[in-house]
Structure 1
Amino acid sequence: MLGGHLWIFSGALQQAPRWVEAGGLIDVKSSTGQFVARGYYNPQTDIAIRILTHDPEEEIDAEFLRRRIRSAVALRRVFDPDITNAYRLIQSEGDGLPGLVVDRYADVLVAQVHTLGMERLWPLLLPPLLEETGAKGIVLRNDSQSRRREGLAVEEPVVVAGEVPEKVLVRENGVQFEVDPREGQKTGFFLDQRDKREALRKYTHGKRVLNCFSYTGGFSVYAALADPETHTASVDVSAPAMEAARQHFLLNDLDPGKHAFIVADVFDYLEEARRRDEQFDVVILDPPAFAKTQSARSQALKAYRRLNTLGMQVLRAGGILLSCSCSGVVGMDDLLGAISMSAQRLHRSVQLLESYTHSLDHPINLAMPETAYLKAVFCRVE
């Protein structure tokens, strides 16, 4: 914690602060009585205190929250809104506001509150979010199951400020997408893959591209835009996601009739494609998190090995594999190890071409490497 970490676990407390109500603010002092930090407290969770400041003179009030929001907004000014107007605005600990995530889609903000302490601060957050961003509407999506661990209710999405349309048209690297801020996965779109989607373009000219766990076809649209001769096949278990993917092709003046949209379990599809001896030039594996807790890590690693083995079996010699993991308990070395083991099993060699983690709108507090979750690698498989 003295090194800048923002969590204090319950086992590290010499004395449980029973005089502070759950979610309330508290000062943390050393065994000698010296001020260490100020944060909010929840006795129901392993992470008992989440730090907001290490400055004893800094009060946690409306002005404090405004300063943090203003700092987050300043960082995102690197985005030209004429090219990219969809990005993460506030990344929890990465922006000094643990428990809060806010994504921006054009003039709409979608907020998620994950912790009890941040829930208590929420009324103070609403005015500066509107005023510092100029947003025309805010949706509060407290529908994450992770809230239960904090003793919070899982709620239906609700518009808490201004007006929010059912669908919001956004730009990402000049590519257009339509986002559902109320019902879409996460907050409506997978913003953390923006730079990987852009990086994919150079590999897909005139190629056959398989996009697994494609959701609404983000990677597929980027791939298809690279070359009129590129053919993409998008696979996802969600029929509504596949319909949205078709609409994204139309939105970007691409003919969806020249591409495939397949509603299927990805593992089943890959098994069947292997039996058909079907081959692709580029295979994208971007699954949901296989492990959200340390206890699930072992099973997750097995799943990554199986998935990458199946992906390589439908990848032609010399083809490009983009393999991703958003499991926080699975590190980059774990992902590379799974890919290497899959290649060894198939007697194939792999060249690591590029590796990615988070883009700049998903900053990580350097003192908290465990909050990094995203890994993506481009490999050539011989």
Structure 2
Amino acid sequence: MTSAIHYPATSLKPRRDESLQSGHLWIFSGALQQAPHWVENGGILDVKSDTGKFIARGYYNANTDIAIRILTHDPDEAIDSDFLRRRIRSAMQLREVFEPEVTNAYRLINSEGDGLPGLVVDRYADILVAQIHTAGMEQLRPLVIEALMQETGARGILLRNDSQSRRREGLFVQEPVVVAGEVPAQAEVRENGVSFFIDFWEGQKTGFFLDQRDKRESLRKYTRGKRVLNCFSYTAGFSVYAALNNPPAQTTSVDISEPAIDAAKQIFAMNGLNPDDHEFIVSDVFEYLEAAWKRGELFDSVILDPPAFAKTQGARTHALKAYRRLNYLGMQVLKPGGLLLTCSCSGVIGMDDLLGTISVSAQRLHRPVQVLESYTHGLDHPINIAMPETAYLKAVFCRIS
């Protein structure tokens, strides 16, 4: 069948279409018969097999190894405003499971997982915070913003194009800017009935780590002990859940960012918790854990939720060493029979790698480990099953005897 919609076309080398047929959304430059110099970076083009058969339609970038990111496999589907609105509506339908009175903060668009590579949109009540990571999505930006406003009824959209990953696409890193409606400096949102204070403009990522929602909820059933240590706490999301679940408990939240610790205290107060009953420490986590061990401090629960130690395959070996050291230090300050929640958001580190670091650290300390639960992404962070390399988050609940 010949498409009635025509875009510039490029062809693949023989037998390079198998992953695309299974639903993968990336084409690497080495799979192309020749670089499509007739298409500008970010421009839409059709992809054909070596025999001339239509395979997919996507956008091109000569600056990256991922030369083409697929948007559709339908030859009759134009990449226009209607296309974007259909994808946004589909994403919104998935998130209808959230009851606004209980949870009104979640990821609305998860890039490839929602069929819109290069676009991330987080919803905080009636405010959207968007990130555009690729040249192709940057070209579609005006249509994306218009479609988001039309479909979601948002009060405003803040564009946070401040990620360094944009440089790999040949894009500028930009200051946050309001691109539609109005966006306040800060706002209060709900997650599983817990209140959080969001700084849209200065906060990490889009203002909050929404991908840990289900892990924070799961933590409730484990934090019955008196002392809970939350490392890399940011604004102390895990600590708030622990304190609300067990009011007699004392939580200790450690983060290197003083503004994050200040915000954590405010979030405690928002939820009716007295910050003075808990510890908030501005420190490098590794230094804190070493000092706590030397002091002989022990905790009933230890939470290790570090930033990504590796963002490229080349950093993988160093990252594994860092995870082993972190888990070793965390176990040293954990009481026998205590709970360890350890996480990794490094895409090049798999679940087996994380379990391996737990095992090696425990063996060094001669402490048995029982794995209780393991998690990946929440339902608002869907992953395309044909693209396991886009899965990044791992979390494991363990009992350390």
TM-score, normalised by the number of residues in structure 1 = 0.99
Aligned counterpart in structure 2 of residue 136 of structure 1, from 147, 155, 159: 155
> Deviation digits for residues 200-245 of structure 1, max 9, x if unmatched?
0111124210000000010000000012111100000011110000
**Partner of residue 120, structure 1:** 139
CA drift of 1:180 comes to: 0.7
Is 1:221 paired with 2:240? yes
Query: Equivalent residue for 2:211?
Result: 192
| Alpha carbons 1:205, 1:229 under 8 Å: kept | no
Post-superposition Cα deviations, 1:24-67, rounded to whole Å, max 9, x if no partner, equal 00100000000010000001100000000011111111100110
Secondary structure of the 2:50 match is coil
Q: Which residue of 2 aligns with 1:12?
A: 31
CA distance in 1, matches of 2:92, 2:147: 11
Secondary structure of the corresponding residue to residue 203 of structure 1: coil
2:57 alignment partner in structure 1: 38
Partner letter of residue 248 of structure 1?
I
Tell me if 1:255 matches 2:285: no
- Correspondence list, 1:1-382, <5 A: 1-382=20-401
In the comparison of the two structures, how many residue pairs are matched?
Answer: 382
Secondary structure, counterpart of 2:392 in structure 1: coil
Structure 2 distance, partners of 1:354, 1:15, is: 48
Q: 2:148 and 2:336 mapped to 1: Cα distance?
A: 50
Paired with 1:9 and 1:291, the residues of 2 have a C-alpha distance of 22
CA distance in 2, matches of 1:209, 1:292: 29
Matches of 2:273 and 2:213 in 1, distance apart? Answer: 19
Instruction: Tell me how far apart the structure 1 counterparts of residues 226 and 384 of structure 2 sit (CA, whole Å).
Output: 39
Q: Secondary structure at the match of 1:353?
A: strand
Contact 2:162–2:176, Cα closer than 8 Å, also in 1: yes
Q: Residues 134-185 of structure 1: CA distance to partner in whole angstroms, max 9, x if unpaired?
A: 1101000000000000000000000111111111110000000010111100
Separation in 2, partners of 1:283, 1:259: 15
The amino acid that maps onto 1:366 is: I
Post-superposition CA distance 1:304-356 (Å, at most 9, x none)? 00000000000000000000000000000000000000000011110000000
TM norm structure 2: 0.95
Contact kept, 8 Å, 2:24 with 2:387, in 1: the verdict is: yes
Answer whether contact 2:158 2:180 (CA < 8 A) is retained.
Answer: yes
What is the letter of the counterpart of residue 265 of structure 2? R
Q: Structure 2: how far apart are the matches of 1:247 and 1:132?
A: 33
**In structure 1, what is the Cα distance between the partners aligned to 2:40 and 2:274?**
58
CA contact (8 A) 2:225 2:300 kept: no
Q: What is the distance in 2 between the residues matched to 1:166 and 1:42? A: 34
Show CA shifts across 1:111-155 (max 9, x none). Answer: 000000000001111122012111101000000000000000000
Rounded to whole Å, the distance in 2 between the matches of 1:319 and 1:244 is 28
Q: Distance in 1 between matches of 2:245 and 2:163?
A: 36
Cα distance between partner residues in 2 of 1:126 and 1:303: 40
Q: Distance between the aligned counterparts of 1:373 and 1:341, measured in 2? A: 21
On the 8 A contact 2:339/2:400 being kept in 1, the answer is: yes
- In the TM superposition, structure 1's runs of 4+ consecutive aligned residues that sit over 6 Å from their partners are none
Amino acid at match of 1:79: F
Which letter maps to 2:355?
Answer: L
Greater CA deviation, 205-214 or 342-351?
205-214
Q: In the alignment, residue 71 of structure 1 is paired with which amino acid? A: S
- Report the AA paired with residue 151 of structure 1: G
What letter matches 1:132 in structure 2?
Answer: E
What SS class does the counterpart of residue 93 from structure 2 fall into? Answer: helix
2: CA distance between counterparts of 1:42 and 1:48? 5
The separation in 2 between residues aligned to 1:212 and 1:228, in whole angstroms, is 20
Inter-partner Cα distance in structure 2 for 1:207 and 1:66: 49
Structure 1 residue matching 2:292: 3-state secondary structure? helix
Q: SS of 1:295's equivalent? A: helix
Letter of the 1:115 counterpart: T
Equivalents in 2 of 1:371, 1:142: separation in Å?
Answer: 20
Give, in whole Å, the separation in 2 of the partners of 1:33 and 1:356: 43
Q: Contact 2:228/2:251 (CA < 8 Å) preserved in 1?
A: yes
Judge conservation of contact 2:225–2:301 (CA < 8 Å) in 1.
no
Q: How far did residue 271 of structure 1 move? A: 0.3
